Structure 1
């Protein structure tokens, strides 16, 4: 595959100006994905606290009315924009690909576990909030698969473990 002559120098300059190595961008993705998950959870929890448990259950089951779904998505996007602290087109682009990714994983887990049925079956707001917390923990494990792997960052001059020689 041939690259245009200007693409590689442009990418090199962008990487140099940002000061990030390729391995450091994973940390940024994790941070942004967690911010997106927090934004989603914040909106869903606020709706449950207002008494709109059926709306949250329908949203998780992908059966919500289009107007309600659009309103919830706009609120999630607005909260994510505030959390990541970016402005302009860059912020819109980041929200445009991170929020759908995290929301898709959340909805897949909700459908697989039947969370919307459990939320509808619960009589109290506290039970519904507890189910949302369980869903959040499960989503974190899917988005960040290395959670709990005991991986650690080593110094550059640290001696490698025997398994890695």
Structure 2
């Protein structure tokens, strides 16, 4: 099968999932930003006691908040969460991630298990790594922070 068929037939569980930064009740925007920086992620998810997603906060939302009023950095995070956000189940086809990202114009999608508990996030990076697996000779995947060039000359 080719990439097109695989995206329709393979499940989200085949994508590289990133760990989730979970938002605690009573946290401030500043607290969440510090968690995001430590985890090197661009979004956090508020979950209830059973692990089900209740809201999302992204770096794009942070930019908007700070542009309007820098003092919002000390606000409770609950007042700035997106209550509607895309999520997919691990058993959904990968194309659902693409559709969610395209229709909502977002970078991150929350991934839940069959009980609707958050298991991770995926998005641009997870999809690009998946595509790179299909074209190993054409796509060079490097980790963030690695050098973009070889240490030694290659070839003759």
TM-score range, shorter chain: under 0.3
> Max radius of gyration: which structure?
1
TM-score (norm 2): 0.28
Of Structure 1 and Structure 2, the greater helix share is in: 1
TM-score (norm 1): 0.27
